[in-house]
Amino acid sequence: MTSYLETLFGLGGRTAMVTGGSSGIGQAMATALYRAGANVILVARTASRLEEVAASLQSGPSAPHVETIAADLADRADVARVAKRTDVDILVNSAAINVRPPMDSLTDDVWDQTLAANLTAPFLLGQAFAPAMAERGWGRIINVVSQQAFRAYGNSGAYGAAKAGLVGLTRSQAEAWSGRGVTSNAVAPGVVQTPLTEPTVFNDPAKVAAHAKRAMIGRNGVPDDFAGCAVYLASTASAAVTGQTLFVDGGYSAS
């Protein structure tokens, strides 16, 4: 018999694509979706790392499938290759780069690369998958954004502009497709220990302590903080939640 929690949160029979699923927050979200029953497609540039994560997930012949696609989402030809899939029910856009030179020295190239990977790729993948989700009457888009979508924060530059755009794109997607069963929501992390933030924050104990103090829960984020919100926003339980940004930041943005 299907349990009550399974009815609310179970993802059996769904297929989730998670960009950036080979590391940090994306890996934690992909793992959670897989454990909730979804087949998972992991997308990132580094094939060897994708294979490691896929191997860590696969747990038996009757378990959901895991596939990997090595692709550079800043490259339109690679995005087009990823977008050929026709079976995606849940799209998680977690892949991003964070190159943040001071505004005075922000080059066109860094701007173009950042917008391509962090904003245009989520747009293109949404355009590729959401109409088919809408046709099937069910779908979920989860866009991983940032505090910097809402506030300036240490050379926000192109990164903050791209993340602000992604919050706007989330609303546009919600407006377009929610009436046909496809929700789109954003998740805004606080300061989370991942390879992205290791060189800029977590190699400096003073910064680690200052950020932890500012969070209401008294600590910085860890990737596993994103397991529950991923399953919730990917599941039937969140059917009436759309166009929103969920701050999973320990109260950092509210302090």
Ligand X SMILES: NC(=O)c1ccc[n+]([C@@H]2O[C@H](COP(=O)([O-])OP(=O)(O)OC[C@H]3O[C@@H](n4cnc5c(N)ncnc54)[C@H](OP(=O)(O)O)[C@@H]3O)[C@@H](O)[C@H]2O)c1
Q: How far apart are CA 178 and CA 184, in angstroms?
A: 8
Q: Does 56 bind ligand X (CB under 6 A)?
A: no
Which is closer to ligand X, CB of 180 or CB of 214?
214
Contact region with ligand X (CB under 6 A), list: 7-15, 32-40, 58-66, 67-75: 67-75
Q: Does 30 bind ligand X (CB under 6 A)?
A: no
Q: Does 26 bind ligand X (CB under 6 A)?
A: yes
Task: Name the burial class of residue 237, with classes exposed (0-12), middle (13-18) and buried (19+) by CB atoms within 10 angstroms of its CB.
Answer: middle
Q: Nearest approach, Cβ of 117 to ligand X (angstroms)?
A: 4
Contact region with ligand X (CB under 6 A), list: 21-29, 60-68, 100-108, 125-133: 21-29
SS (H, E, C) 101-166: CCHHHCCHHHHHHHHHHHHHHHHHHHHHHHHHHHHHCCEEEEEECCHHHCCCCCCCHHHHHHHHHH
Residue closest to 27 by CA, chosen among 11, 44, 14:
44
Pair 192, 222: CB distance under 8 Å: yes
* Residue bearing tokens 């979920």: 140
Residues 141-200 close enough to bind ligand X by CB under 6 A: 144, 146, 189, 191-192, 194-197
- Give me the residue whose beta carbon is nearest to ligand X: 24
Q: Which of 4, 34, 153, 159 is catalytic?
A: 159
Among 74, 91, 125, 141, binds ligand X (CB under 6 A): 74
Q: Does 95 bind ligand X (CB under 6 A)?
A: yes
Q: Nearest approach, Cβ of 134 to ligand X (angstroms)?
A: 25
Tell me if residue 159 is catalytic.
Answer: yes
Contact region with ligand X (CB under 6 A), list: 40-48, 57-65, 203-211, 229-237: 40-48
Which is closer to ligand X, CB of 44 or CB of 158?
44
Q: Does 31 bind ligand X (CB under 6 A)?
A: no
Q: How far apart are CA 89 and CA 14, in angstroms?
A: 6
Order the strands of the 182-189 sheet from edge to edge. 66-70, 39-44, 15-19, 90-93, 139-144, 182-189, 245-248
Task: Name the burial class of residue 53, with classes exposed (0-12), middle (13-18) and buried (19+) by CB atoms within 10 angstroms of its CB.
Answer: buried
Q: Nearest approach, Cβ of 87 to ligand X (angstroms)?
A: 20
List of residues contacting ligand X (CB under 6 A): 19-20, 22-26, 44-46, 49, 71-74, 94-98, 117, 144, 146, 189, 191-192, 194-197
Just list the catalytic residues: 159
